[in-house]
A and B are shown apart, each in its own frame.
Chain A
Amino acid sequence: DTGVSQNPRHKITKRGQNVTFRCDPISEHNRLYWYRQTLGQGPEFLTYFQNEAQLEKSRLLSDRFSAERPKGSFSTLEIQRTEQGDSAMYLCASSLTGANTEAFFGQGTRLTVV
């Protein structure tokens, strides 16, 4: 599968623990996006990168959230001191730059905080 890959697919963690998710984008894509999706909602933007530069962060991304893309390839999203409200599907997508280019999505990481 040469599409966007996310690991793990599922994560159950206790409240207060830290979790880290990984996204491997399509190799030639220089844009990488993180979204969060809760039940009954569409994907909500969290942050995006162009190469290794983090260009924008949503106000949804509290201080407990941090994302990196150190070499402009894979990206990690870390949530510190998880809360029950963090339970959601975390989606990663990648695209080329330029107008009207589509984003290709991964299958997501489902986080459950107990």
Chain B
Amino acid sequence: AQRVTQPEKLLSVFKGAPVELKCNYSYSGSPELFWYVQYSRQRLQLLLRHISRESIKGFTADLNKGETSFHLKKPFAQEEDSAMYYCALRRTGNQFYFGTGTSLTVIP
């Protein structure tokens, strides 16, 4: 069965500090992994996907198949990064499975 675990419900960091949001998954096949973000009063939107290997808004995420992790990182947090972050896994061509989310607060 597919499962996504985000161990931290709440995470607070100071502006300018590095931030890492953890995501671990369980899936026997080759997963598609995504990070979605929800800013206050906005809809859920894609932040980045592992296949793209790109940096979006300064965030990166590396798929580590050995550790079954897909942690989201940013070297210098900004106040506008405060939001709810969801890690999601998809079996190719099927539905998305979401973690329970991490609420990030960046303290000025």
Interface contact B95-A105, CB-CB below 8 Å:
no
A93 CA / B90 CA spacing, docked (Å): 14
How many B residues touch A, CB cutoff 8 Å? Answer: 24
Knowing A43-B44, A45-B96 touch, does A102 contact B86 (C-beta < 8 A)?
no
Interface contact B99-A45, CB-CB below 8 Å:
no
Q: Interface code A100-114, partner B: CB below 8 Å = 1, 0 otherwise?
A: 101111111000000
A107 CA / B43 CA spacing, docked (Å): 5
Knowing A99-B32, A100-B49, A105-B45 touch, does A40 contact B95 (C-beta < 8 A)?
no
Q: How large is the interface on A (under 10, 10 to 19, 20 to 34, 35 or more residues)?
A: 20 to 34
CB pairs A–B below 8 angstroms (14 shown): A33-B95, A41-B100, A41-B101, A42-B6, A42-B101, A44-B98, A45-B95, A48-B94, A56-B95, A91-B44, A99-B51, A104-B46, A105-B43, A105-B45
CB contacts (< 8 Å) of B70 on chain A: these are: none
A-B residue pairs, 5 tightest by C-beta: A42-B98, A105-B44, A102-B46, A100-B51, A43-B98
- Min CB distance, B1 to chain A, in Å? 12
Interface contact A42-B92, CB-CB below 8 Å:
no
A56 CA / B93 CA spacing, docked (Å): 12
CB contacts (< 8 Å) of A45 on chain B: these are: 95-97
B34 at the binding interface (Cβ < 8 Å): yes
Interface contact B93-A99, CB-CB below 8 Å:
yes
Q: Interface code B69-108, partner A: CB below 8 Å = 1, 0 otherwise?
A: 0000000000000000010100011111111110000000
CB contacts (< 8 Å) of A99 on chain B: these are: 32, 51, 92-93
B65 at the binding interface (Cβ < 8 Å): no
Interface contact B43-A42, CB-CB below 8 Å:
no
Q: Interface code B43-66, partner A: CB below 8 Å = 1, 0 otherwise?
A: 111100101100000000000000
A55 CA / B51 CA spacing, docked (Å): 25
A35 CA / B98 CA spacing, docked (Å): 10
A97 at the binding interface (Cβ < 8 Å): yes
A64 CA / B9 CA spacing, docked (Å): 32
- Min CB distance, A61 to chain B, in Å? 12
